[in-house]
Amino acid sequence: MFSVLSYGRLVARAVLGGLSQTDPRAGGGGGGDYGLVTAGCGFGKDFRKGLLKKGACYGDDACFVARHRSADVLGVADGVGGWRDYGVDPSQFSGTLMRTCERLVKEGRFVPSNPIGILTTSYCELLQNKVPLLGNSTACIVVLDRTSHRLHTANLGDSGFLVVRGGEVVHRSDEQQHYFNTPFQLSIAPPEAEGVVLSDSPDAADSTSFDVQLGDIILTATDGLFDNMPDYMILQELKKLKNSNYESIQQTARSIAEQAHELAYDPNYMSPFAQFACDNGLNVRG
């Protein structure tokens, strides 16, 4: 697992940092609506740096950014790598889940205040797929309602999000774990494995709503970021973001992803995951 970032500074009708709402990346609208300027970066465990698979997949993780006239929506999902031992590509499940969520948003088949609904409809489509799709995945959906200026979120498992304002974390997701290193997750298993493979309902996702302000930074990521970088490290990188233009945000996203990737393979680094492991009686690093 590794980091996938998709975040943005909020922009309003007035020009802010060289971008206005009429910029397509700002998800233009009218009447003082808000929008997101977004960028992302990630690395897979195979060291093919920055390799982005079809469908916005980094290794086993996937992400999407979708825009509709009523909202901007971000999503990340972390495919469970253990399926590889059974000849199943873990990225197929997470990637298809995120692509389906993206399509639902672009088609307007969602309610901004109900991100769990996006996840539920997408998962149901996967279950009804004529071609069996096997796998497990965590998922995090973040919806910015442009008109109400509220952020609506749904998080299932140990992917998640941060909202940063003035250099501080003002809102964040709660990690969902059944037990150590076993997060809540959606799954589709072969008939003979049903009841054995862990599977949670989309309704089990933690759901929140939060009022946002201009200049807020919204960061979404899989546990490849949060397992390797504590908040203070992430905030140090975000403080370097001086402009709200796409190029600056992309550079910061890459910097955070590269740092998390490097720390993940440092055998002497006591990461947040390593600390959690020690708290559960395991001696690990990195």
Domains of the chain: 13-19+34-280 (3.60.40.10)
pLDDT above 70: residue 50: no
User: Whole-prediction pTM value?
Assistant: 0.88
More confident residue, 276 or 138: 138
Rounded Cα distance, 1 and 157, in Å: 13
Of 50, 62, 46, 81, the closest CA to residue 6 belongs to 62
Q: Which of 18-22, 75-79, 108-112 has the lowest mean pLDDT?
A: 18-22
What the block records as the tokens of 131 is 């071609």
pLDDT at 18: 28
CA torsion, points 259, 265, 269, 274, in degrees to nearest 10?
110
pLDDT computed for residue 95 by the predictor: 95
Residue 263 has pLDDT above 50, yes or no: yes
Whether 282 has a pLDDT exceeding 50, the answer reads yes
**Which residues neighbour 107 within 8 Å (Cβ) at sequence distance 6 or greater?**
none
Helix (H, G, I), strand (E, B) or coil at 226: helix
Strands, E assignment, the chain: 4-11, 35-42, 57-58, 61-68, 71-79, 135-145, 150-156, 160-165, 168-172, 177-179, 182-183, 186-188, 206-211, 217-221
Q: What is the dihedral sign for C-alpha 120, 126, 130, 132? A: negative
What is the rounded average pLDDT for all residues in the chain?
86
pLDDT surpassing 60 at residue 12: no
CB proximity list for 189: less than 8 A, separation 6 or greater: 134, 196, 197, 199
Higher pLDDT, 210 or 85: 210
The pLDDT, as a whole number, for residue 24 is 42
- What is d(CA 100, CA 116) in angstroms, rounded to the nearest whole number? 14
Question: Rounded to whole angstroms, what are the CA distances from 40 to 11, 176, 228, 250?
Answer: 18, 24, 17, 6
Least confident of 5-14, 145-154, 263-272: 5-14
Across residues 101-121, what is the average pLDDT?
Answer: 98
- The confidence band for 284, taking pLDDT boundaries of 50, 70 and 90, is confident
Beta-bridge partners for 218: 8, 163
225 has pLDDT over 90: yes
Model confidence band, residue 277 (pLDDT cutoffs 50, 70, 90): confident
pLDDT band with cut points at 50, 70 and 90 for residue 58: confident
Q: Which residue has the higher pLDDT, 232 or 20?
A: 232
In 3D space, the residue among 267, 275, 266 whose CA is nearest the CA of residue 230 turns out to be 275
Judged by average pLDDT, the poorest of 9-13, 86-90, 100-104, 225-229 is 9-13
What is the arithmetic mean of pLDDT over 224-245?
93
